[in-house]
Amino acid sequence: MATDTRHALITGSSRGIGRGIALKLAESGVKIAVHYYQNEAAAKDTLAAIRKHGSDGLLVQADVTKPDQISRMFSKVKAEFDKLDIFVSNARPEAPAFFSPPLDITLQQWDTAMDSQAKAFLVGVREAIPLMGSGGRILAVTYAEGSRTGGLQPWVGMGSAKAAMESLVRYFGVTLARRGITVNAISPGWTEDSVLNTLPTQVQELIRNWHIRGWTPMGRLGTPADVGNVAALFCSKDAAWITGQVIYADGGASLMNPEVPTEIQLG
């Protein structure tokens, strides 16, 4: 094995944004541990695509709401890779497991959101650190808008969980700085081939049209490849001076003012 080969573990990388990050990193020869929870077929497809991109990897299965399964996943990564250069915390449960408004959300839904995000990130980072040296990169995939607003009421569990995870990014950024390990979060906007595609068709079209008309200044929704490009930037050597940050990758959507019609904002 070449000593300069980098290795990554990306949770939730069988589909969507996680897959987009995996394929982009594979282009530069990073070996990928493709994590999945239940959809092994999708994970195998992603690994096949990684190999077509000129790299390789392995499959790892875990329920990230269970700390013991996270530990087991990292043990497999250590056994196969021996080291880890990149850890991306991206996995998210399916919407019914957490999507409920404040007055209706069950404690089980709340715990699922928190355990899959803040707790999984806490446990994952602590498992990753012994495998990382200087130059290590840790990324969390968040949705920062949902962490600071309250309009999308059924997002209360996930929004709160993401906010806690973003806080951990800052604390770990300080903790790991002297080790040369950076910790950052990427906040995509609405992205094709992700949670959007699980919504009813009519809702999907409303969201797409709203963004194309101007809510996203660049005039389209994001793609997993867009997010993968941003992740690759933060995993590069040139990003060694950036840590503890939440970076929006949303085509400018977060720059818009919700109280002003987009037609006025765009001039």
For the chain, domain boundaries = 7-193+223-252
**pLDDT of 3 strictly over 60:** no
Mean residue pLDDT of the chain comes to 93
DSSP conformational letter for 36: E
**pLDDT tens digits, 6-28:** 999 999 999 999 999 999 999 99
Question: Residue for token digits 């959101």?
Answer: 113
CATH code for 7-193+223-252?
3.40.50.720
pLDDT tens, position by position, 156-172 = 999 999 999 999 999 99
* Residue 237 pLDDT level (bands cut at 50, 70, 90): very high
Q: Token digits for 72?
A: 């087991």
Q: pTM here?
A: 0.94
Q: What spatial distance separates the first Cα and last Cα of the chain, rounded to whole Å?
A: 56
Q: What is the mean pLDDT of residues 219-245?
A: 96
What gap in Å lies between CA 115 and CA 17, rounded to an integer?
20
- Average of pLDDT values for 241-251? 96
Identify the CA nearest to 124 among candidates 46, 52, 183.
Answer: 183
105 vs 266, higher pLDDT: 105
* pLDDT tens for each residue of 64-99: 999 999 999 999 999 999 999 999 999 998 888 998
Render pLDDT for 193-207 as a digit per residue (tens, 0 to 9). Answer: 777 777 778 878 888
C-alpha–C-alpha distance, residues 130 and 186, integer Å = 23
Q: Is 185 helix (H, G, I), strand (E, B) or coil?
A: strand
Q: How far is Cα 19 from Cα 223, in angstroms, rounded to an integer? A: 11
Q: What would the mean pLDDT of 122-136 be, rounded to a whole number? A: 98
How sure is the predictor about 183, in pLDDT bands with cuts at 50, 70 and 90?
Answer: very high
- Count of positions (residues) in the chain: 267
